[in-house]
Structure 1
Amino acid sequence: MTEESGVRLPFDEEAMHWLSDVMRFALSLTRDRSEAEDLVQDTYLTAQKAWHQLQPGTDTKAWLFTIARHRFYRITERAERQVATDAPELESLAAAAYTIQHGSTLADELERQDMRDAVRASMYALPEVYREVAILVDWHDQPYDSVAQILGIPVGTVRSRLFRARRLLQEQLTAYAEDLGITGRSTPQEARRV
């Protein structure tokens, strides 16, 4: 969102405008609010240090997404090299406590949440190459050329990965809907009753 005159807006005006979008993207990468907040902070510190290098006319939102993605993978690589010392039983208890604490008691909210959870779980179950593209395009409304820039791949690859991601999501969500009995398909017994 640089000015048309080619003059770049101050960091506080331009980059901070995209804070909520970067946070949502960080959440989609980390799947944890605390880690996402840390990633956003790291992204913005990195962006502020490199602000003078940003060329006028550059898509700032895509630039911030690129920084967030690179920082996420750098942090993930470091974490993989570390030896885990936590007890798995404690992690399971903490996850259960979080679920209980943040659960909703209204039936209709649970149904909506179940569907959101199914979509989210299906998205996160995708292989990484498809998941990244689907999250950026479908959840963050990024255009194909921005996604190509963020991921460092050709636009045609973005399109093919998105097509494949949507097919896989459709298969997973159709199976979920059939399990719940909310699809238009009827069983032979139901067809005879009509």
Structure 2
Amino acid sequence: MPKPKVAVAMSGGVDSSVACLILAEQGFNVFGLTMQVLDTRSYTGGSFAAGQGLSPALTTAEDAGKICRELGVPHYTVDLVEEFEAEVIAPFIENYRQGKTPNPCLICNTRFKFGQLLDKARKLGARYLATGHYVQAGRILGETGEFVENHVLAAGNLNQGCPGMANGLPREDETAFRLLLARGKDSGKDQSYALYGLN
């Protein structure tokens, strides 16, 4: 039986690239997906010319595309420039003007990284969205409370008749099977904080 289609949120960096490689090597039908949140045409002059001092956010899609070509997997860029400006940058500036401490990452993670990207992944036929975040992921068996660590198996087993599952999605009245997001083993690299607000 073929393994499911998986979209990998690609930043062009090492972590998401390795996640993509591992999933491809394990036989998943993989493609890369990258958010374009800044208009690169706005940064063509001055110190940004010829790539000098270029912000990583401006080269992300290009870098991710190159990596996907090297890995032999498709890559798609999701244009979120206008939405990002309206929902992340403008509120950040307004909060800063009001003397508040803005936290744009909370909005970006929930609405963009795991909202807009997940929507696009589904439209492209993906069953799952993978990332390169440093976390422990697995499942807790309700009867024993045992933590079974293996993010690929935890995701892959959703369609194999596990207790508490109906058509790959958790039933609200069932606690025998729960997915768990935990801190990464290496506390210096832990990124569970970036994912904690998701459901």
Same fold at TM > 0.5: no
TM class by shorter chain equals under 0.3
Q: Greater CA radius of gyration, 1 or 2?
A: 1
TM-score, scaled to structure 1: 0.25
Q: Which has the higher strand share?
A: 2
TM-score, scaled to structure 2: 0.25
Q: Which has the higher helix share?
A: 1
